Structure 1
Amino acid sequence: MQSREPGRSPIIPGCGSSNAKGRVSVSEETPSAVGEGVTPGPSGRLLGLFDGHRLTPTQRRIAHCLVRNAADAPFLSSVEVAELAGVSQPSVTRFAVALGFDGYPALRRRLRELGPGDQVEPGVGQETAKDAVRNEQQQAVLAEIANLQHLAAVLADPEPVLQAARLLAASRPLPVLGLRAASAQAHGFAYFAAKVHPDVRLIDQGGSMALDQVEQAVQAGATALICFSLPRHPREVVDVLSAAKRAGLTVVTVAESVFAPVAELTDVMLPAAVGSSLVFDTACAPMMLGRVLLQAMCDELPESVARLEAFEQGAAARGLFVG
């Protein structure tokens, strides 16, 4: 990671000890969802081959197709894989390159090296197509559980979240930024934050409108901004954060890693891993981290209890909820 200006070191939960110069040495471990003592079947071995690679939705579609056809995958041509996955043949080639191979032939050789696994009696213990699909879904859930467990370990040091909460609670108004894939995280955070914070302003559209909203928030007295930025990080997020920094805002960011592209524009980085085993990313850990941050903000806002009680009274009077 490139150095920042003096006095603006990032707050990184769960990192290693500081060195002699007072800088933080980062230590991020990638959580694993592989169960100990479990011998994977053909689909499990393919999932292991694809694990750890950042793939596009199209490439994930190809990966899932191979998993579902794990027994036949080592013998399929790139054209056959393309037909099965419903993509173009060049997409299959790009998929192989994304995995670190020179091309699809090299990937197929690797698939053949993995082999079909231990031989068993016909019809006994063999992995069926149904099993492969089920295992794929289970692997995705287990990977997300591992992400949450990793977040729990990171939160053993609560100080970074508490410091972020103090910064955000003191900002009036409080801009909440989240574009594209991260818009859902920003929406959820802003929805609940508005129940305890007097002025929350959601920024979920990029371009000049987002820049206008940042400028208006600064003019109204904002001192900090929280950003949810998830893969694949939109260039517009970088533009908005650059404008926020120029305007003097302190930026708190929830991202999948301290090495995310927005790290250089962040004062307080709160990492939470994102799952990438399905066609579209899963972001349970960033959502949970957002809720933890809200809890800490409630403790920093003396009027939060009164505001929550007023909301509940109003909701009851209006019959807002049915249960």
Structure 2
Amino acid sequence: MLTMTPPVTIKDIQEASQLIHKVGRVTPLIQSMFLSRTVTHGDVYLKLENMQLTGSFKFRGAYNKIHHLTDSEKQRGVITASAGNHAQGVALTAHLLGINATVVMPETAPLAKQQATSGYGARVILAGQTFDEARAFMEKKATADGLTIVDPYNDPLVIAGQGSIGLELLTQLPTIDTVIVPVGGGGLISGIAVALKHAHPQIHIIGVQSENVHGMTASLQAGHLTRQCAGSTLADGTAVAMPGDITFGLASDLVDEMVLVSEEEIAEAMKDLLQRAKTVAEGAGALPTAALEAHKIAAKWLTDKKVVALVSGGNVDLERVAQNIEHFFDHDPTGHFVG
């Protein structure tokens, strides 16, 4: 009987981890006393991928993918579509490896992410109002100019790179019970799930998305790839209307549950991470904290458990931070943060 080889294996992730750690960072894992004692009654740890190179986990997958390109592909150059974090990961990797990079971003991409991407040396093109529109433009340009596409999530080498986070977690906290991960296209949670489930199949893996855009959740519920987008979201880094076939397959096999949070809950989590954990998180990076604070996760996975909430990135416009602070000041007549 033939057995299909999975698209990403633990060996792939181990090799990616060795490669990435030559240039990237092993990001901190810190305990949040606020989330541990006040919210969950468990031991909650924050994995601070907002402290990775480029301020996001995306550097890992981009570096692993581009490093494996042929000399001919590197010479022709690479192209990608991204709301910002993958863009920066590709741009910095291309700079480090001496490769030309073109990045197509939605016109709505945060200014800080546009500036950071061009600052790493990539050519930035703004096209479309959504990630999907930017992606469609990118695919046409890749064909026209002979550029190699570096997919932001639906690529085994990208997924393996993101999976290096899972290996770090197993070293930093060997007794993990529950891991909570932001989800957009699914590359991050797929890679982490492959690494963690290989070591400890009993680890409970939870994905979090915005109520406004949750293509992966809708697809898993339907049992097939489906599109879902009801509006914009603070979690712009996860605003993917439909996941890829590779990530969908891995998530179907390895992710235990998905939960959704509102825009207000995301904003609250961004504020609390800044105030209580002293860490800047973009909307996508705050999704796991939002799920915890909004009590979207059953107590049996949290109480007296070792819980990791991933802060996937911190690339947020200062204007957005200021607006969020002002929003909560306006809701509190004493002039102090609520919560």
Question: Do both share a fold (TM > 0.5)?
Answer: no
State the structure with more CA Rg: 1
The TM-score normalised by the length of structure 1 is 0.28
The TM-score normalised by the length of structure 2 is 0.27
